[in-house]
A and B are shown apart, each in its own frame.
Chain A
């Protein structure tokens, strides 16, 4: 059982989780309506991973995400408006419309541009951590990846480098049991694809219920402490599940219904809400107020983004090389 958090902290975490849930639900709806371009990979069901891991990072710490970045970005503090504008391909998007749904991020708040190459962010995170170390900074970087990414060569090369150089990086595997349509059980013979391999690199690891935000946050606290005090990397494997399909067009027909039910019943947002009320950290009304405020913020962001201007066409030709600030 986790130690009871103080009220402000608990509500802060709930607010972020609820924001991610409602954001993803709205994006999904906008796609169904045909209003939003491109494709999407949503993090619905994995909110506790993002919030638990990132809640205690400082703004000058970094986070490296994947093709499924929205939860991580919102938890790291990328603004809702700039996320929404990016999704619509608008000039005020966090990547000025050049990135898109798989590349959201904002270096101003420590969110690296998300990486749509599976495993592509892992060595980059090691490099960021190497720079902290060379520059004698006490920062840490949290690098997210999926169960499927652990089968990439980039995973193994990065773990080894992080280990030998004792880098301040936290490698966080969100094991949602599938890489696209493929069960991790048929592509890796280990029960815990990230944590079980940690021993091969002599990196400490933890396996945590990724749908329990407080447990995730406790593991994060330990790993951040290790990293900041120069003890090196940690691998954290979070057991979780995505509620929707892999991407826009996936009806998820390859997942057993009883497995889905088991995980849907273990909903990170709903459970945490119940926890707050049962433990008298918040009243129904307080929680509802948070939710309503989020809905209003999202309404506003969508309205804003839909009416915001597209980038000037000629801007397509800039930024290929750094042009200075």
Chain B
């Protein structure tokens, strides 16, 4: 066992996979310049030392190229792990991700596959509207892409290793306030925990139950999972018992775990930092309504960022992003229905 933050857990996953498979390589802006940071959040720092700069590429600021060389090299059997610095720049590479990576396998009639990983730091952290978005829901809409969002160090290692071994394009959303790297972020949550040093993977499509409960099922990802757990603690004292589920991967999505929980609770709350309109919660909510409406004793509640760009001012940002207080309040209301 080793005590690792998410940043360190991701690093060890990438390093272990690079040791295991010579076809794995990583690339990105400021990926690992000696004396530099190792991406924007230290994840790839030091990899150049071990693997050399033929397998750790410091790229120009060229997102279209970054995504495109992943697609091309992956089609030729390589396993690229790219780092985007901030998920917001996904929009700069949209064509290569959505028109190319996601469609190659299908358009070729299943003859070609694209085993690439794109790492996208996400979440609001007082940096303003272009360095703040939670875009995981956006990409769940694209057939051909897998979307994962690890929120613990243990999951980060196991899911990243699985992502690298997966034969399809995988987008990894990593929350800036959960990295726990040495780079200090205001409001960051420490994710340092014991992580096995040996090889393990976590299968996609398996949610984790972070807390058991019997009154409300709360499904929340990334930072919001931690906020939901804090809220659950407060609600417990009021006699409201919450089951908190972390989906861990959004595509594929583990509906079964949510359904099993609803069989106990009959009440569903979904919490995400992505904004309300068409966030991944909209899909989960409507799927439950379509297939299991009779499990529900009350309307589904979605707690999400308001439908605005993320403002800079801390007072505004705190208001727009769901807080534990908002979760508590919505839970109280839900129990009164």
Residues of chain A touching chain B, judged by Cβ–Cβ distance below 8 Å, are 37-39, 86, 89-90, 93, 95, 97-103, 115-120, 148-149, 151-153, 179-183, 186-188, 249-250, 252-255, 310-311, 313, 315-317, 320
Contact = CB atoms under 8 A, between A and B. Distances in A.
Nearest to B62: A151
B37 A152 contact: no
Contact of A100 (B30, B35, B127): B127
B92 interface: yes
B312 A182 contact: no
A103 B306 contact: no
A152 B128 contact: no
Given A37-B312, A116-B131, A253-B35, 5 more contacts: A89-B312, A93-B313, A152-B61, A152-B63, A180-B36
The binding surface of chain B is classed by DSSP as loop
Contacts of B35: 181, 252-255
A101 B128 contact: yes
Contact of A180 (B30, B64, B307, B308): B30
21 contacts: A86-B312, A89-B314, A89-B315, A90-B313, A100-B126, A100-B127, A115-B130, A117-B88, A118-B61, A148-B61, A151-B62, A179-B30, A179-B60, A181-B30, A187-B59, A254-B35, A311-B313, A313-B315, A315-B316, A316-B311, A320-B307
B131 A149 contact: no
B87 to A, nearest CB: 12
B216 to A, nearest CB: 27
Contacts of B233: none
B128 A116 contact: yes
When A and B form their complex, which 4 residue pairs have the shortest distance between CB atoms, in order from nearest?
A100-B312, A89-B313, A181-B36, A97-B313
Interface in B128-176: 128-131
Interface in B51-70: 58-65
Contact residues on B (Cβ < 8 Å of other chain), bracket: 35 or more
A93 B314 CA distance: 13
A37 B126 contact: yes
Interface of B: 29-30, 33-37, 58-65, 88-89, 92, 126-131, 183-184, 186, 306-309, 311-316, 319-320
A182 B33 contact: yes
A182 B30 contact: yes
A320 B129 CA distance: 12
B198 to A, nearest CB: 33
A188 B62 CA distance: 11
Given A102-B130, A182-B29, A320 B309 contact: yes
A148 to B, nearest CB: 5
Given A102-B128, A116-B128, A182-B33, A188 B60 contact: yes
A254 B30 CA distance: 11
A320 B30 CA distance: 33
B186 to A, nearest CB: 7
Contacts of A313: 315-316, 319
B130 A89 contact: no
B33 A97 contact: no
Given A97-B316, A98-B316, A38 B58 contact: no
A159 to B, nearest CB: 15
A253 B36 contact: yes
A38 B128 CA distance: 8
